[in-house]
Every structure is written in C-alpha cells, then in structure tokens.
C-alpha cells in the first residue's frame, strides 16, 4: 500500500465521522481562561522555598515545606477540615503519623586527603556527598587509611578493619560486608551513570542512601572530579584521609497534606493530583510541589469568583513519593472507588536548554510498552518489558496528549511522550486500576544530583505545565456526554494515526524478512487497545445523553476495526 493511498484511506475515514461540539465549556475554553490567570509566579516562588532544604520525610526541611503549603492554601481560602462547615468547598488537612524509623538530616561534612591543602569534598559545595542514614563521626573526625576494594572477593583477601573502603561496584553489598561485618569505619563510592555526563558535570554528585541500621556508620559519594583525585592519590601508595560528618538522626512524624475542592454536583467522584515533597532537588521535586500549589490556589480563586466550576471533586496531595498516594488509595475503599483519574507531577519545571531532555507524558501501559518502535522510545530510566495482560486501555492517554499539545503549540513548548516505565506517584493509581499518568522531564543531566538547583528551573515551564494540567482536569471534572463525544473523536483520530504508523512499520518489517504473524499480532494489539479506550469514555456519560454517546462509540470502533482489517489484509498479501 503506497503512502499516498494510506493518507487517502485515513482522511476518508476521518471525514466520514465527525462530532459537532456542543459542550458548554471545552478544554480550549479552560486553556484560554488559565493563560490569563496562571503566571508561574506562585509555582516558582514555592519551588525556590522548598529546594533550599535537603528533604526527607519527617526532617526539618520536609516539615517546613508542608507548613508552607498549608499557609498558602489558607491564604487562598482553604479552610482546615476540623474548622470547616458543610458549606465550605475549599478544605485541607495535615495528616500526621509516627515514623516507624527515625528521620535524618545533614548538618556538615568534609573529606580531606592527608597532605592536600584543599578538601576532596565539602558539604558547602556538594550537599549530596553524604549517604542518607549516615551517622556522625567523632567531633574531630576520623583519620585512617583509605583502600580500594574492587569487588566483594577483595574483602576476603585483605583486612579492612579500622580503614575506609573506596569502591565503584556493588556498593551496598560491600558496605554491608566490609563495614557492618568486617569493621571498616565507612565507605567512599563512585557510580554516577553515563547519562549524567560526569566528565562534563565533574563536580556533580547523585544522592545515595544506606538502609537504616542501628549499626550504621557512614558513606560518602564522590563527584567525578573527586574520584579522579582519589584514584591518582591511591596510585602513589598508602593513603590516609580525614573524614568529618555531622548528621541528625531522630524520631519524628510523617506529614501529608490533602486539599480538596468539593464538587458542586458529583462530589464523590474526583480527580487526584499528587506531588511528592521528599527528595532534595529543585526540579525533583520542588517543582511538582510548586506547580500543584499554584494550580490549587488558582482553581480556588476562579471557582470562588464563579468564573468556572468543578462538578466533581478535585484533590491535591503532597507527601512521601508513592507511599502517601498508595495510602490515600487504600485507607478508604469507598473514596477510592470513586477516584476517576490520578495525575502525578514529578520534575515538571525544567529549563531544558540547560538540563536536556524534554517535557514528557508517561502513558498508561499501551502496546508501545511491549513493542517500542518508530517514534516511541524509552528514557534512560527504562522500564520492564510488559505483556498484553498489563495493558490499561483508557482515553486518558490521548486526551491528555491532545490537551498538552494545544498548550505546547500556543506557547512554543515541546511536549513528548514515553511508554510506561513506572517509579513515581502514577504507579499506585494504576496498581489500583485507576487511570493514571505521569508528567515529567527526562533525560536530565542533573537528575538526583546536587546541581539540581533553581538555576535549572524555568518559570515558563512551570506555567505551561500548570495551565495544561489544570485545563485538562477541569475538562474532566466537568465532563458529560458531550465532553465524552469530543474525547471519542480525539481518541479515534489518535487510533487511526497509530494504526497507520504501525502498518508502515510492519510492512517494512515483513519486507525485511520478519514473520507476518508477529506483525499482525502488533496491529491487533493496537486495535484492541483503542477499541477498549474508546469504550472507556462511557464513564463520563450523563444519563439523559448516554444513547448518543453509545452511538458515537460504536461508530468510532467500527472505523478502527475496518482500518485494522484492511491493514492486516495488506500484510497477508
């Protein structure tokens, strides 16, 4: 089948079914309203406040961030739940739970090679140098020999008792064996991955952690520059080093903040936004905290002055990554059963001219997570290979992509997607069979390093993410049958384009000698996914207009089925 014939085929079916838009308010309307109200100011100011702290659940910086959010919510009109009446639509609460393990925070640190005038590393310039859960050294530090351990077998050949281990592989395994069992005083390590461009960003350190253990001592992570200096010194012979570390380890409580905008008509149904507060970076994830706070405050302002409404409830959750979201979904089965969508904001403020990568929507599991080809590609984060049983067909993927692309076109902002990989607050939603997506950036050459600071954050990006996220959410929480019919059209168009792309890839694959059966399996997988995704729009149906939506669904599904049959027939020739 020629490309010209293929394009004619797609356009014929696209023109043959169209939906007249009679929704009261569309995504485009919300985008226009929010472009005049979301500036990124609140998001940027909040990101700057939060990123100054090395945040782990329960420590001082984490708690100050939570209370900053609460103060700003109150200023925006949110009422503490315990003081709220049934008439209050904007409420919040701070949930408090004892931590099972102590919290941790860094105070100061330095490592100096004996004979050098300048420290090898200092906390003042590398705030990620000390492993989370490290204990303090004696007040004057520890001065002892530092030795290289290549692998776990080296620990059987040489005594490490009373010495500092330096290693570049199997770090935690070597720590447990060499420090906890064989008496080394601590560990120094290097393992910055290639995507961080360590030779270029030679002073960056990616943060590391030790599992909490009452027998813990300490660990230090090296920058590339520090590693080179250390290796050079070791090559000259016996090497002594002084290590000074000051940390705090103490009992605390876990704080989670939950804000709600009560739906005016269907309050039991809701969308949930989640942004984690812990992790010490600016983009990861002070930026998610900031964008979500600006969204919550602007939504309250516009609903409060009746510029817009929210028929369903909007929930904003700030807490511990994955843990807080998972708990929110599991602790109240009745509430969880009515959660219709979950959206995670994680690393959403990047100045990509500096960090690299682009803004990404990580899709719910679709066949691109099984057969990653064509324009689809995984990030360096990666993800396990999925199977057909892992698929999550739903309209949320293509609806969100369509909405964000609209904002991207107006703002000249690059929006891309990646197949499902997991690892953030969208995973608990999916694990509980709730449609969920991740908004993020990757690759980021400063990911999890102490160079992830405010100079890598773009207020323009924060603004764009806030506008597109909130506009999409408002469309959904106010959605009805007509909204669903608009979405059917969006998903149908995405389906016909995807099937056409997959057909061309399969046609090329067959010509290259690959089995036709394998390619037919891929086409059928996409057909099945999209037929089910279109069917999922029924969850927005209003009873009085359900029939017309059902007809639209059947019409769109018929187009997809027909297109798939034609493409499969072409492959079988």
Render pLDDT for 22-34 as a digit per residue (tens, 0 to 9): 445 899 999 999 9
Distance in angstroms (rounded) separating the CA atoms of residues 216 and 125: 25
- As a whole-number percent, the residues of the chain with pLDDT over 70 amount to 96
Please, what is the average pLDDT of the chain? Answer: 95
User: Which position has the token pair 């394009």?
Assistant: 7
Residue 554 sits at the vertex; the CA angle it makes with 552 and 559, to the nearest 5 degrees, is: 95
218's tokens: 């300490």
Q: Is 159 helix (H, G, I), strand (E, B) or coil?
A: coil
User: Which position has the token pair 């004057």?
Assistant: 140
pLDDT in tens, 398-420: 999 999 999 999 999 999 999 99
* pLDDT of res. 382: 87
Is 155 in contact with 177 (CB distance < 8 Å)? Answer: yes
Q: Angle formed by the axes of helices 41-51 and 459-477, to 10°?
A: 120
Query: pLDDT band at 560, cuts 50/70/90?
Result: very high
pLDDT in tens, 271-324: 999 999 999 999 999 999 999 999 999 999 999 999 999 999 999 999 999 999
Instruction: Tell me the H-state helices in 85-198.
Output: 154-157, 171-174
16 has pLDDT over 50: no
453's tokens: 């600071």
pLDDT in tens, 155-173: 988 899 999 999 999 999 9
Query: pLDDT band at 1, cuts 50/70/90?
Result: low
pLDDT in tens, 355-375: 999 999 999 999 999 999 999
Is 53 in contact with 66 (CB distance < 8 Å)? Answer: no
Is 282 in contact with 45 (CB distance < 8 Å)? Answer: no
* pLDDT of res. 24: 52
Burial class, 335, CB count within 10 angstroms (exposed 0-12 / middle 13-18 / buried 19+): middle
Q: Averaged over 527-550, what is the pLDDT? A: 95
pTM for the predicted model, two decimal places? 0.95
What is the DSSP pairing of strand 415-418 with strand 358-362? parallel
* pLDDT of res. 6: 54
pLDDT in tens, 424-450: 999 999 999 999 999 999 999 999 999
* pLDDT of res. 534: 98
Distance in angstroms (rounded) separating the CA atoms of residues 568 and 571: 5
Q: Averaged over 114-142, what is the pLDDT? A: 97
Q: Averaged over 516-536, what is the pLDDT? A: 98
Distance in angstroms (rounded) separating the CA atoms of residues 481 and 378: 35
Q: Which helix (H) or strand (E) holds 491?
A: helix 481-511
């Amino acid at each position: 089948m020629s490309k010209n014939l293929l394009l004619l085929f797609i356009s014929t079916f696209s023109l043959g079914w169209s939906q007249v838009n009679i929704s009261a308010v569309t995504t485009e309307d919300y985008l226009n309203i929010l472009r005049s109200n979301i500036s990124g100011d609140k998001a940027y100011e909040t990101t700057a406040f939060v990123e100054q702290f090395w945040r782990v659940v329960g420590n001082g910086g984490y708690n100050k961030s939570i209370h900053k959010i609460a103060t700003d919510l109150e200023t925006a009109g949110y009422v503490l739940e315990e003081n709220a009446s049934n008439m209050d639509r904007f409420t919040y609460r701070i949930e408090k739970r004892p931590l099972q393990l102590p919290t941790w925070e860094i105070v100061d640190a330095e490592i100096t090679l004996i004979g050098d005038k300048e420290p090898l590393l200092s906390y003042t310039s590398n705030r990620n140098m000390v492993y989370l859960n490290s204990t303090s050294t004696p007040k004057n530090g520890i001065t002892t020999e530092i030795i290289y351990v290549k692998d776990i077998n080296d620990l059987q050949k040489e005594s490490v008792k009373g010495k500092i281990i330096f290693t570049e592989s199997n770090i935690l395994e070597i720590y447990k064996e060499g420090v906890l069992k064989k008496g080394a005083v601590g560990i120094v390590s290097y393992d910055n991955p290639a995507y961080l461009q360590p030779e270029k960003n030679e002073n960056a350190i990616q943060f590391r952690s030790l599992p909490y253990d009452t027998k813990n001592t300490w660990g230090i992570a090296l920058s590339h520059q520090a590693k080179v200096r250390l290796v050079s010194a070791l090559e000259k012979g016996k090497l002594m080093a002084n290590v000074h570390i000051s940390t705090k380890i103490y009992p605390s409580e876990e704080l989670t903040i939950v804000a709600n905008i009560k739906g005016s008509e269907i309050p039991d149904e809701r969308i949930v936004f989640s942004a984690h507060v812990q992790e010490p970076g600016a983009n990861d994830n002070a930026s998610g905290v900031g964008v979500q706070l600006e969204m919550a405050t602007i939504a309250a302002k516009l609903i409060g002055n009746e510029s817009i409404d929210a028929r369903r409830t909007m929930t904003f959750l700030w807490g511990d990554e994955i843990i807080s979201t998972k708990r929110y979904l599991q602790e109240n089965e009745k509430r969880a059963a009515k959660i219709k969508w979950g959206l995670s904001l994680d690393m959403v403020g990047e100045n990509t001219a500096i960090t690299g990568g682009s803004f990404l929507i990580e899709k719910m599991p679709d066949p691109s997570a099984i057969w990653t080809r064509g324009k689809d590609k995984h990030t360096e984060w990666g993800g396990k290979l999925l199977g057909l049983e892992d698929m999550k067909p739903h309209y949320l993927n293509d609806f969100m992509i369509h909405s964000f692309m609209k904002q991207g076109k107006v703002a000249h902002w690059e929006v891309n997607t990646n197949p499902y990989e997991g690892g953030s607050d969208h995973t608990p939603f999916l694990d509980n069979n709730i449609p969920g997506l991740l908004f993020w950036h990757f690759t980021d050459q400063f990911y999890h390093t102490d160079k992830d600071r405010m100079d890598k954050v773009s207020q323009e990006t924060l603004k764009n993410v806030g506008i597109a996220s909130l506009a999409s959410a408002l469309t959904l929480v106010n959605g009805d049958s007509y909204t669903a019919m608009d979405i059917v059209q969006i998903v149908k168009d995405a389906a016909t384009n995807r099937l056409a792309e997959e057909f061309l890839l399969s046609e090329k694959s067959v010509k290259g000698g690959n089995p036709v059966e394998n390619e037919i399996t891929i086409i059928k997988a996409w057909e099945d996914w999209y037929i089910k995704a279109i069917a999922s729009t029924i969850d927005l149906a209003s009873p009085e207009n359900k029939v017309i939506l059902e007809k639209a669904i059947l019409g769109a599904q018929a187009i997809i089925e027909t297109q798939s049959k034609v493409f499969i027939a072409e492959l079988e020739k």
